Structure 1
Amino acid sequence: MTTADKLRPADDKLDAAVLKVAGVVVLGAVMAILDTTVVNVALQALTVEFQTSFDTIQWIVTGYMLALATVIPVTGWAADRFGTKRLYMLAIGLFLIGSMLAGMAWNIETLIIFRVLQGFGGGMLMPAGMTIMTRAAGPQRVGRVMAVLGVPMLLGPIGGPILGGYLVDAVSWRWIFYINVPIGLIALLLAWRVLPKDESRPTDKFDFAGMLMLSPGLALLIFGVSKIPHEGGVGSVGVWLPGLAGLALIVVFVLRALRVPNPLVDLKLFRDRTFTIAMVTMTLFMLAFFGAMLVVPTYFSLVRGESALQAGLLLAPQGLGAMLTMPLGGKLADKIGPGKVVLPGMVLIVAGLAVFTQVSGITSYLLLLGGLFVMGLGMGATMMPISAAALQTLTQRSVARASTAMNIVQQTAGAIGSAIMSVIVAGQLAGKFGVSTSEGQLAATVAVLNPATHDNAAAMAGEAFATTFLWALVLVALCFIPALFLPRRPPVLAGEPESDGTAAVQVPMH
């Protein structure tokens, strides 16, 4: 029997122990992801509650996002230094405390501060959870565990608006935060009982200089990008100044990280061909698809006059489609290679998105829901296999740092994609209604709500959204280029085990 045969599990199905670990990680992920989407629905109610401007209230979202960007780079080092179990429990604890305090907030300033505390916990939850699951399952089953982790990532954007709309309308805005308390307590207890104890590993000296460059750099870049929709473009000082400052810090970090022995983010990971291809594919995918998905509920609410709750319910077919293909996609990624799963998945996304390039003010709901369902089928076969491809060729010692790098890419590309699509739709609406870009959405909303101009305004707004979805389709199509180079066979274990018993090398076969 070869070394590879000894290392490969006799039964590559997800056993009970791995499923228990996956359950704990998914619970934490649901809590973090659901909270981001639940809050979006409550922004209008919070503006009225605290008698403040929408610019100020946006900091509830922006502050959380900046906290995520700040803490994610530190997670890989912390996972090695303190152990993933302890780090994961700390992340849940911070998120839990932040949630309780946010629910008790007495003014807008305290709510923003407590949301930042939530963000510090939320930023560590996903990369730490991804590391725990990948280590528990091993490289041969990484596609399947990624499929499990993908469920909350898809259901959060769908279930969040529905739950948020209900809580704000029927109970109180405070419960969008209090709802995390029982979930967090259960997750904390299960993490303590279920997650395998892992010892802290000897780590190199913490890269404080790198942290002082990368964390503020990411925060400034995402902050600048997040201001684009409000400012109406990149020409505003509030956009380009923090954006360029953040980009400069990131560039300096990269140049330094290539020279120093132990940088905060290990750029040597990008020497792995499969990891690099997967990261390029993921970057383009997050830019295109998540940006487009931000626009869909806006179309339902602005053009079709649906409430936040109804718009959330209309997104349900996408989640249903993803739930059908995600477990199968993860299993096939392990069996036949991610490349053979991702490409057909992207064809489905393009086909579903093509429906939305033809939207108008009166497009059949049956056709739109069918398009969302097909997009969901495609996403279930795409996003998690890309993540699996990035991790399955790495050693267990590299997984924590790789998860950190992956989450940095996802957060940054997702924020930029959302901003790009917001600017495109705002610009299209502005062109249709003859106003500046920053006023496009407001002008369209006023015209659609006016019974005298409703029909004509809805038709013009529908055309604006159709053009926006066409741009999204082009960006998604670009993902095919790097996806063609993803591995089309499962990894083959090779080499001797490391000192911790894990495989030293995972060699992909193309």
Structure 2
Amino acid sequence: MSVTQNGKGYNRTLAFTIMMLAAISGSLMQTSLGTALPSLMKAFDISISTAQQATTWFLLTNGIMVPLSAYLANRVPTKYLQLSASLALLVGIIITMLTPENSNSWWIFVAGRIVTALGVGIVMPLLQIVIINMYAPEERGAAMGMMGLVVGMGPAIGPTLTGWILKENHTIFGLTLSDHWQSIFIIPFIIIAIATLLTPVFVKNVIQTSKIKMDYFSVVLSTIGFGLFLWGFTNVSTQGWGDWSQVILPISAGIVVIILFGWRQLKLDKPFLDIRVFMNKEFTIASAQIILLTMAMYGVEMMLPTYLQNVRGLNPFDSGLTLMWGALCLGLISPIAGILYNKVGTKRLSFVGFSMLALGTLPYIYLTPETPTLLITVLYTMRMAGVALTMMPLTTAAMSALPDSMGSHGTAANNTVRQVASSVVVALMTSVVQNVTSNHLPSSSLKTTDPILYASKALNASMDGFQIAFILSFIFAVIGIFLLIFLKSGKESNK
């Protein structure tokens, strides 16, 4: 039995489990929509660029909320903040599920996604902050490992689960899931509904709060700065790097506003987001490695489904199924990595993890249209095992390098850089693949004179684009290995 900030006893494991359920629902909502875009385009009679707004606005809202999570965690009692976030998730899912199917109602669907993102932007960082407050330093590795189930496995399973649901009718616990787009929200809805009902009873106030005055100017700067920056990068995939109004200007303006935001935080006695956490060497190095790990992971995770579908001709479900073993491996190893963290330390564990990631990525550089699917699955599983061995131990090391009083700010900063890294690598990889492919495409006249040769050269052009993306992912992993020189062992038991 653990004790709250008010000295009252509570069941720590049960509270953590309920918060994990909410995080699982939010995690599924982050990535499950991509596979359903064709179904949404048909149902609402919209273009792909319009359909992608559901993902774009979700990422923007989520990215804006993460920096705000530190203030909210220190200001609002844990139970009520968790309940508010869960309700936002629940309401957002309901709005999206009940949206009428016509192009004029699409904005309602997008609004539902925005409300959902408000909840996800709080649920994820709050879970990490709660771990710091509920668990002793020597226990955090295992708890963070369990959280790895949510951070890594949820997004990996989401697209496959969506493809499975949309492929044909299924029955779960007596409930029929039709092959209609609304069905993809039923499982996350059930999970978050259970978590919402149980939160008032079992989740307690474990974070010390105080009446911190809201610095509204910081909120405005944070919202505008990160909003513009992330919006600019999300536009790269459709507009290209040369678009001034929708890419260059938003990114540039976002950077300027973010700098102003950082300068203001350094001037405040009680900052909205205390960026002084980056003055801690161990925190900064671990955060930098998390960025590299995220970019190396997304570099392949984002491009491989496109290769499997566009080059190998697999449908979304089968391509997701090919990568499912990697997701399962990540889920199984994450808790084990948390236990190993206290035994061997961050440095050794991260070396093994980054090495597996690099070795698993290297063969992808030499992929061909005939590469056996089994080999692709094995290599992907190896990569995800490396991610599992590295992600949560690095996160734990970063948080443990800070005093507990700085935990909420460290968590917000850590999640913010991870969110930014995800947006940057998605834009970078997409643009690189598109540019390389376009530059290597044969002349359009060949399509008429020799269609077979044109198709062959076009396929090779696509492979050239994927090759560059995989090379960049390999480089990110190798840099991560070299940065380990500056990282301490990180054994909690030694502290």
Q: Identify whether the pair has TM-score above 0.5, normalized to the shorter chain.
A: yes
Pick closer, same or farther for the CA change 1:331–1:116 going to 2, 3 Å: same
Aligned equivalent of 2:75: 81
Using a 3 Å threshold, how does the CA distance of structure 1 residues 197 and 261 change in structure 2: closer, same or farther?
closer
| Change beyond 3 A, Cα 1:75–1:349 | same
Q: Which moved more, 1:49-58 or 1:192-201?
A: 192-201
Give the match for residue 129 of structure 1: 127
For residues 277 and 25 of structure 1, what CA distance do their matches in structure 2 show? 29
User: Mean Cα displacement is larger for which, 120-129 or 18-27?
Assistant: 18-27
2:315 aligned with 1:307:
yes
**Number of matched pairs:** 468
* Residues 219-251 of structure 1, C-alpha deviations (whole Å, 9 max, x = no match): 110000011111122444210111111111101
What's the counterpart of residue 238 of structure 1?
A: 246
**Cα distance between partner residues in 2 of 1:234 and 1:31:** 37
1:484 counterpart SS class: helix
Where 2:181 maps in the other structure, the secondary structure is coil
Which residue of structure 2 lines up, in the alignment, with residue 341 of structure 1? 349
Which structure 2 residues correspond to residues 305-384 of structure 1 after superposition, within 5 A?
Answer: 305-384=313-392
Asked if the contact 2:230–2:420 (Cα under 8 Å) also holds between the matched residues in 1, the reply is yes
Aligned residue number for residue 461 of structure 1 = 462
> 1:414 aligned to 2:422?
yes
Match of 1:28 in 2: 22
Segment drifting more, 476-485 vs 353-362:
476-485
Comparing 476-485 with 81-90, greater Cα deviation is found at 476-485
Deviations 1:447-494 (A, max 9, x none): 9xx98865554344233312321121112211223333222141468x
Q: Structure 2: how far apart are the matches of 1:248 and 1:459?
A: 41
Q: Counterparts in 2 of 1:372-451, with a 5 A limit?
A: 372-434=380-442
In 2, Cα distance between equivalents of 1:39 and 1:149: 22
Q: Write out per-residue CA displacement over residues 128-187 of structure 1, whole angstroms, 9 at most, x where no aligned residue.
A: 111112221222222111110111222223321122123334321112234322111111
Instruction: Output one character per residue of 1:236-285: Cα deviation in whole Å (capped at 9) or x when no partner.
Output: 42101111111111011111211221221112212222111111111222
How far apart, CA to CA, are the structure 1 residues paired with 2:482 and 2:207?
41
- The answer on whether the counterparts of 1:342 and 1:381 sit within 8 Å (CA) in structure 2 is yes
Deviations, residues 311-340 of structure 1 (Å, cap 9, x unaligned) = 110111212332343222211212332111
Partners of 2:18 and 2:418 lie apart in 1 by 22
Q: Quick check: 1:140–1:392 contact (8 Å CA) kept in 2?
A: no
1:247 — aligned with what?
255
Structure 2 CA distance for aligned equivalents of residues 220 and 434 of structure 1:
37
Question: What corresponds to 2:201 in structure 1?
Answer: 193
Q: Which runs of 5+ in 2 are unaligned?
A: 1-9, 169-177
**Quick one: which amino acid aligns to residue 329 of structure 1?**
A
Provide the residue aligned with 1:157 in structure 2. Answer: 155
Q: Which residue of 2 aligns with 1:109?
A: 107
Deviations 1:69-88 (A, max 9, x none): 22222111111111222211
Distance 2:323 2:268 in 1: 47
The counterpart of 1:97, out of the listed 67, 73, 91, is 91
Within 5 Å, give how 1:62-81 maps onto structure 2: 62-81=56-75
Amino acid at match of 1:201: T
Q: State the match for 1:176 in structure 2.
A: 184
Whole-Å separation in 2 of the counterparts to 1:199 and 1:63:
30
In the alignment, structure 1 residue 260 sits paired with structure 2 residue 268: yes
Inter-partner Cα distance in structure 1 for 2:414 and 2:19: 17
Equivalent residue for 2:487? Answer: 486
Q: Which amino acid aligns with 1:311?
A: S
Give 2:164's aligned residue.
Answer: 166
TM-score normalized by structure 2? 0.89
Cα distance in 2, alignment partners of residues 374 and 435 from structure 1: 39
Aligned partners of 1:164 and 1:132: how far apart in 2?
A: 30
Q: CA deviation at 1:397?
A: 2.1
| Distance 1:47-1:309 versus aligned 2 partners, 3 A rule | same
Cα RMSD between the aligned structures? 2.3
After TM superposition, the structure 1 = structure 2 runs for residues 206-285 of structure 1, keeping only pairs within 5 Å, are 206-285=214-293
**Of 52, 63, 79, which aligns to 1:58?**
52
CA deviation after TM superposition for structure 1 residue 390, in Å: 0.8
Structure 1 distance, partners of 2:358, 2:11, is 37
Contact kept, 8 Å, 1:292 with 1:418, in 2: the verdict is: no
Selected match of 2:43 from 38, 45, 49: 49
Amino acid at match of 1:335: K
The alignment status of 1:477 with 2:478, answered yes or no, reads: yes
Contact 2:241 2:248 in 1 (8 A): no
Q: Give the Cα–Cα distance (whole angstroms) in 2 for the partners of residues 48 and 138 of structure 1.
A: 51
* Counterpart AA for 2:108: T
Q: Show the counterpart of 2:173.
A: none
Q: 1:327 to 1:435 in 2, by over 3 A?
A: farther
Partner amino acid, structure 2, of 1:478 = I
Distance 1:151 1:234 in 2: 39
CA deviations 1:207-226 (Å, max 9, x no partner) are 21111101221111000001
Aligned to 1:443: none
More displaced stretch, 36-45 vs 327-336: 327-336
Q: Distance in 1 between matches of 2:490 and 2:422?
A: 29
**Which AA in structure 1 matches 2:136?**
G
Once the two structures are aligned, what percentage of the paired residues are identical?
24
Give the match's secondary structure for 2:476.
helix
1:146 equivalent in structure 2: 144
Is the Cα–Cα contact under 8 Å of residues 133 and 207 in structure 2 kept in the other structure? no
Distance 1:341 1:435, change over 3 A: farther
Distance 1:143 1:434 in 2: 52
Equivalents in 1 of 2:199, 2:273: separation in Å?
A: 26
- Asked if the contact 1:339/1:488 (under 8 Å) is kept, the reply is yes
Q: Distance in 2 between matches of 1:424 and 1:299?
A: 14
AA matched with 1:21:
A
Provide the C-alpha distance between the structure 1 equivalents of 2:443 and 2:155, rounded to a whole number of angstroms: 31
SS in 1 for 2:205: coil
With 138-147 and 230-239 compared, the bigger mean Cα shift is at 230-239
Could you give the per-residue CA deviations for residues 368-411 of structure 1, whole angstroms, max 9, x where no partner exists?
A: 11111111211110111110111113232221221111111111
Distance (Å, rounded) in 1 between the aligned partners of 2:359 and 2:274: 37
Q: Cα 1:100–1:311, aligned 2, differ >3 Å: closer, same or farther?
A: same
